[in-house]
Chains A and B, each alone.
Chain A
């Protein structure tokens, strides 16, 4: 990227004269990001500061379990999804698209992890994964991962088996409750599957029936898609050495592919039992006397 004289910061290359870029982003964080993160860290002669997108409630609960926020971290990737969806006659997974959706989110999350690592974080909480469509065209979207990097105040390392800070999409409240039960998060795990539902078969099936009857082929197809997504998510958890996954949810989106192609995205937080004895405190039961 060249800096144009007169503008501070990096200008986009002119698309008319610059050939399309086929390569990848350089390894490591761009200098602007490093600079922003450096400003947050405590150094001799420079007092650091934290930033966090946690609400006040979440901030206080994080502190309760002995973590301190370091900074808001983010990663993103603008991805071009190139396969044209066609009217396949069979219901099937569109594995190239699956790979693309996975890769795009993974890139975004890796960059967010890189920022968290640079801050010396033990983990990232409140992770949000979003997809934005601006005016890039119908087949391009921006995948974003944001969260708040945190560090344990007792000096213990909470980094996971891969040596990376744990990630979790649990809210501050859920994180607090999880820690009370004696479990710690290992990482945000995800599995995705882009499934195409056959056009011709569906039309025929609907015309042929007129009765209240199940369409077994399609039921089967959707089962398969969901199972694929969830299995992939579980595999990730196993790789991390987790004993379980909490806060699992399954999202189904068509993005911009039309109704016949759906992405099944399964997300959760992999957890493992922490060392040491934990007695789960007995929650108090209350009856609130107001609405």
Chain B
């Protein structure tokens, strides 16, 4: 069947009775996967179930930002609490929908002077033809990465996240005057930011240890101003904890290829002149 035949067949199917009786299986599922991702998942024996989410706001007492310098412990605690709660909601949402894992999780982190909010949105998935027995994973890996990774024996477990928040230090006038004209490292500041990064990483690692991961892949370290009205720098480290099932890594053995085309669709110009398209 050519593509044109398929399209005609699709349209004919629509022209038939539009109102369909709801079968037990399809209950109006929602999926944010692209068609490529869906096809890839299918080829690995998985299917999308529903769009799921988890969201949590945690408050931070206003005093935390004012009185301390260096790391703001309350903000990192709030972050950890919010991630935990959002992840729990996401998991429950997935299990309720009948999925055994969540893929493609987008992590939204918003920090304001009085709260941290974590928003997780992803696609619940399950093995084709099997009921979900137990919950297996949450991951920010795309469907494509999931298929590739699981082929080699590595399976995602959960999201590992860690954050630290540092009040951006200012130098005193005296410090400034003394350092004018000098090319010199500023050890205090260096230490402060370096440690903040390390702590964010360490908290992420701890999350990995808790879920008994063999490793954390695709770590993204975001850093920058936490919000526009607070002089705070945030370091957020997020990755997916993974576990090597069967204890051995299976090789992918990729082939080297040299593509002989520029990646532009080639089509037959003659088809444009005919009014039908085929």
- Does chain A touch chain B in the assembled complex, meaning CB atoms less than 8 Å apart? yes
Seen from chain A, the residues whose Cβ lies within 8 Å of a Cβ on chain B are 1, 4, 7-16, 18-25, 30, 32-33, 35-36, 39-40, 49-57, 59-61, 63-64, 69, 72, 74-84, 96-97, 99-100, 103-104, 107, 111, 132, 134-137, 140, 142, 146, 176-177, 180, 281, 283-288, 290-291
For the complex of A and B, the 3 pairs showing the least CB-CB separation, nearest first, are A100-B183, A291-B265, A50-B215
Q: How far is the CB of B61 from chain A (nearest CB, A)?
A: 14
- List B contacts of A52 (CB < 8 A): 215-219
Q: Please report the number of residue pairs spanning A and B whose Cβ atoms sit closer than 8 angstroms.
A: 230
Contact check, B183 vs A96: say whether CB atoms are below 8 A apart: yes
- List A contacts of B239 (CB < 8 A): 51, 53
Q: What is the CA–CA distance of A287 and B263 in the complex, to the nearest angstrom?
A: 10
A-B contact pairs, 21 of them (CB 8 A): A11-B69, A11-B71, A12-B169, A15-B172, A21-B186, A36-B202, A50-B216, A52-B216, A52-B219, A54-B217, A54-B218, A74-B197, A76-B194, A78-B190, A80-B179, A136-B169, A176-B254, A284-B256, A284-B258, A285-B257, A286-B259
Contact check, A16 vs B172: say whether CB atoms are below 8 A apart: yes
Q: How far is the CB of A284 from chain B (nearest CB, A)?
A: 5
Contact check, B198 vs A36: say whether CB atoms are below 8 A apart: yes
Q: How far is the CB of B43 from chain A (nearest CB, A)?
A: 16
B49 part of interface (Cβ distance < 8 Å) = no
- Contact partner, B185, options A25, A32, A57, Cβ 8 Å: A25
Contact check, B221 vs A83: say whether CB atoms are below 8 A apart: no
- List B contacts of A80 (CB < 8 A): 179, 182-186
Contact check, A286 vs B185: say whether CB atoms are below 8 A apart: no
Q: How far is the CB of A70 from chain B (nearest CB, A)?
A: 9
Known: A81-B183, A291-B265. A9 touches B214 (CB 8 A): no
Closest residue of chain A to B145 (Cβ to Cβ) is A56
Q: What is the CA–CA distance of A169 and B199 in the complex, to the nearest angstrom?
A: 25
- List B contacts of A13 (CB < 8 A): 188
Task: State the interface size on chain B (CB cutoff 8 A).
Answer: 75
Q: How far is the CB of A191 from chain B (nearest CB, A)?
A: 18
Q: What is the CA–CA distance of A99 and B253 in the complex, to the nearest angstrom?
A: 45
Closest residue of chain A to B182 (Cβ to Cβ) is A82
B68, B184, B252, most chain A CB atoms within 10 A: B184
Seen from chain B, the residues whose Cβ lies within 8 Å of a Cβ on chain A are 68-71, 73, 141, 145, 148-149, 152, 168-172, 174-176, 178-195, 197-199, 201-202, 204-206, 208-209, 213-221, 223, 225, 231, 233, 239, 249, 251-261, 263-265
- Contact partner, A103, options B68, B183, B223, B265, Cβ 8 Å: B183
Contact check, B183 vs A99: say whether CB atoms are below 8 A apart: yes
Contact check, B152 vs A177: say whether CB atoms are below 8 A apart: no
Contact check, B198 vs A32: say whether CB atoms are below 8 A apart: yes
Contact check, B168 vs A12: say whether CB atoms are below 8 A apart: no
Closest residue of chain A to B265 (Cβ to Cβ) is A291
Q: How far is the CB of B108 from chain A (nearest CB, A)?
A: 20
Contact check, B265 vs A142: say whether CB atoms are below 8 A apart: no
Q: How far is the CB of B247 from chain A (nearest CB, A)?
A: 13
- List B contacts of A100 (CB < 8 A): 183
Q: What is the CA–CA distance of A49 and B261 in the complex, to the nearest angstrom?
A: 42
Closest residue of chain B to A52 (Cβ to Cβ) is B217
Q: What is the CA–CA distance of A54 and B205 in the complex, to the nearest angstrom?
A: 16
- List B contacts of A76 (CB < 8 A): 190, 193-194, 197
- Contact partner, B188, options A7, A21, A63, A176, Cβ 8 Å: A21
Q: What is the CA–CA distance of A96 and B152 in the complex, to the nearest angstrom?
A: 51
Contact check, A137 vs B214: say whether CB atoms are below 8 A apart: no
Contact check, A23 vs B149: say whether CB atoms are below 8 A apart: no
Contact check, B184 vs A82: say whether CB atoms are below 8 A apart: yes
Closest residue of chain A to B171 (Cβ to Cβ) is A15
Contact check, A57 vs B169: say whether CB atoms are below 8 A apart: no
- List B contacts of A23 (CB < 8 A): 187
Contact check, B209 vs A135: say whether CB atoms are below 8 A apart: no
- List B contacts of A104 (CB < 8 A): 185
Known: A51-B215, A78-B193. A7 touches B183 (CB 8 A): no
Contact check, B258 vs A283: say whether CB atoms are below 8 A apart: yes
Contact check, B258 vs A22: say whether CB atoms are below 8 A apart: no
Contact check, B249 vs A288: say whether CB atoms are below 8 A apart: no
- List A contacts of B258 (CB < 8 A): 283-286
- List A contacts of B193 (CB < 8 A): 76, 78, 142
Contact check, B263 vs A12: say whether CB atoms are below 8 A apart: no
- List B contacts of A287 (CB < 8 A): 259-261
Known: A64-B252, A83-B181, A180-B256. A12 touches B215 (CB 8 A): no
- Contact partner, B179, options A4, A20, A33, A75, Cβ 8 Å: A20
Contact check, B220 vs A53: say whether CB atoms are below 8 A apart: yes
Q: What is the CA–CA distance of A104 and B187 in the complex, to the nearest angstrom?
A: 12
Q: What is the CA–CA distance of A107 and B251 in the complex, to the nearest angstrom?
A: 38
Contact check, B209 vs A49: say whether CB atoms are below 8 A apart: yes
- List A contacts of B180 (CB < 8 A): 82
Contact check, A33 vs B187: say whether CB atoms are below 8 A apart: no
Known: A36-B198, A80-B179, A107-B185. A7 touches B215 (CB 8 A): no
Closest residue of chain A to B241 (Cβ to Cβ) is A49
Known: A9-B70, A11-B69. A51 touches B184 (CB 8 A): no
Contact check, B218 vs A56: say whether CB atoms are below 8 A apart: yes
- List B contacts of A24 (CB < 8 A): 185, 187
Contact check, B71 vs A72: say whether CB atoms are below 8 A apart: no
